[in-house]
């Protein structure tokens, strides 16, 4: 009986833990540099990466001044 109860508790905890939303993206996005974000968005296009990085840096500088 005790084994069945413990198994049910463990199974419920496992299902509850997997059902909870795990938000890594916002925390990772804040720590990501413009260079890393550009590489993630455009892995094979160097010119697009350069343009994205340039606009990202300009946006970041504008938000830091305000």
SS3 2: helix
Residue 3 has a pLDDT of: 85
Over the stretch 6-46, which tens digit does the pLDDT of each residue have? 878 888 877 766 666 555 555 555 678 899 989 999 999 99
Tokens of 53: 């990085």
For the stretch 42-62, pLDDT in tens is: 999 999 999 999 999 999 899
């Amino acid at each position: 009986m005790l084994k069945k109860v413990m198994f049910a508790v463990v199974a419920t905890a496992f299902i509850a833990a997997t059902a909870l939303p795990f938000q890594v993206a916002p925390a990772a996005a804040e720590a990501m540099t413009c260079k890393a974000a550009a590489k993630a968005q455009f892995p094979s296009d160097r010119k697009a990466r350069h343009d994205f990085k340039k606009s990202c840096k300009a946006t970041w500088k504008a938000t830091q001044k305000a």
